[in-house]
Amino acid sequence: MPNTSAFSLRRLTPEDAIVFRDVRLEGLQRYPAAFGASYEDERDRPLEWFRARITDHAVFGGFSNDGTLAGVAGLQVPPGAKMKHKGILWGMYVRPSARGTGLAAALLDCVLEHARGVVDEVKLEVAPDNTAAMRLYGAAGFVEFAREPRALKIDGTYHDSVSMTLPFDTTGAA
């Protein structure tokens, strides 16, 4: 179990839009191959767009004892009747200063706890060379189900993607 005494966890609200935007843009800028979105696409978006992301999705944040937002992770539930049983883990990012504290595992636990009451399964995409993230997701029970070569193209270089899934109910009909 992660040491949660070094931080507090909660679902973000629209009032957190400024700090969410800061963390989101930091992650996109520092680690472009870790996200399908790009810094260039999101840096000029109005604050209202970030508020809408928080409102329309379940976004959780980990705050350090000094109140700094140190990490985020979100769950998107597709609106379509045939797709809303599968949530999508997105935007998982922990600032370097909070790595190794258990915050990433705690954020993932928050998202999964929320997801269990909302969807039957959570899926995600991760860069295959992001070994820390691959270990984190594997430890939580996610399994790889596909690899997409050339999923992203950043500055002329292709990056592959690994698709992983965590079904909550394996007794459902096929």
For 38, which DSSP code? Answer: -
pLDDT for 6: 83
**What does the alpha-carbon distance between residue 16 and residue 11 come to, in Å, rounded to a whole number?**
10
Paired with 89 in beta bridges are: 75
User: What are 90's strand-pairing partners?
Assistant: 74
Which DSSP string corresponds to 156-167? TEEEEEEEEEEE
Quote the crossing angle between the two packed helices 131-139 and 103-116, to the nearest 10°.
40
* pLDDT score for 170: 56
User: Could you report how far apart the first and last alpha carbons of the chain are, in Å?
Assistant: 34
Structural domains present in the chain: 4-167 (3.40.630.30)
Q: Could you list the mean pLDDT of each consecutive 10-residue stretch along the chain, which spans 174 residues?
A: 73 98 98 95 97 97 96 96 96 96 97 96 96 97 97 96 90 54
**pLDDT the model gives residue 101:** 94
Nearest to 16 by CA among 52, 65, 66: 52
DSSP E strand boundaries for the chain: 7-11, 58-64, 69-76, 86-94, 121-126, 143-154, 157-167
Decide the pairing of beta strands 86-94 and 121-126.
Answer: parallel
For residue 2, the model assigns a pLDDT of 47
